[in-house]
Structure 1
Amino acid sequence: MPLSLKTPLSRFRFIGILEGISYLVLLGIAMPLKYWAGWPLAVKYVGWAHGVLFIAYLIALIAVAFDRRWSFVRVIVAFIASLVPFGTFWLEGRLKREEEQSVS
């Protein structure tokens, strides 16, 4: 299915993927470059991009929570997913399965 960013949920899922990728790049590439290779600019730029994507994730989370009337617990789980490496990918998988089940 082609990517559509027309709904708050689809935008949230897309931003979640980008945020998750930026988090893994920050932890897995930029931080080792800083501490092992002595190149702190990697963390500066990747960290900045990750920060912007994290804020976009939070804004998208608030939008989808109001649009879908998510419970407080679900919002907290989605927030915590953004703090755990691979968490946004796990959440994306759950949201995709829920969407597929609601369509069929």
Structure 2
Amino acid sequence: MINFFKLVSLLEGISYILLLFIAVPIKYLQGNPEYVKMLGMPHGLLFVGYIVLAIMLKYELNWNGKTFGIVCLLSILPFGTFFVGRYLKEEGDYKKS
């Protein structure tokens, strides 16, 4: 399940970057909300999937509160989800499932 979580975290991060740095500026600078509409739903679904998988992994891998909190915090920071795998590996809270 950890590999699936890493894939979802990568996709969630990409969707967040596209939304934040491309779609939102186009919406406010050019008055065109179509890109936000197009990218908003996939990003929202990926974000929810990321959080659900993080909760599942918290119990499966016995993460402590700090690890779970940081994994969740990384989901709201731009580029944060790109570092989840590295963080878990460094903390020793990463094992193949």
| TM-score for both structures, normalised by structure 2 | 0.86
Q: Percent identity?
A: 37
Moved >3 Å (runs of 4+)? 95-99
Q: Is it true that 1:84 corresponds to 2:69 in the alignment? A: no
Q: 2:40 aligns with which of 47, 54, 66?
A: 47
| TM-score for both structures, normalised by structure 1 | 0.81
- What's the offset of the Cα at 1:94? 2.6
Q: 2:87 aligns with which of 68, 71, 94?
A: 94
What does residue 38 of structure 1 align with? Answer: 31
Q: Distance in 2 between matches of 1:85 and 1:93?
A: 16
- What's the offset of the Cα at 1:95? 3.4
Q: Distance in 2 between matches of 1:57 and 1:92?
A: 13
The answer to which structure, 1 or 2, has the higher relative contact order (CA under 8 A, 6+ apart) is 2
What residue ranges of structure 2 are gaps of 5+ in the alignment?
none
Matched-pair contact (CA < 8 Å) for 1:17–1:92: no
Q: Distance in 2 between matches of 1:94 and 1:73?
A: 12
Between stretches 75-84 and 87-96, larger displacement belongs to 87-96
Cα distance change on mapping 1:53 and 1:34 into 2, 3 Å: same
- What's the offset of the Cα at 1:72? 1.2
**RMSD of aligned C-alpha atoms?**
2.1
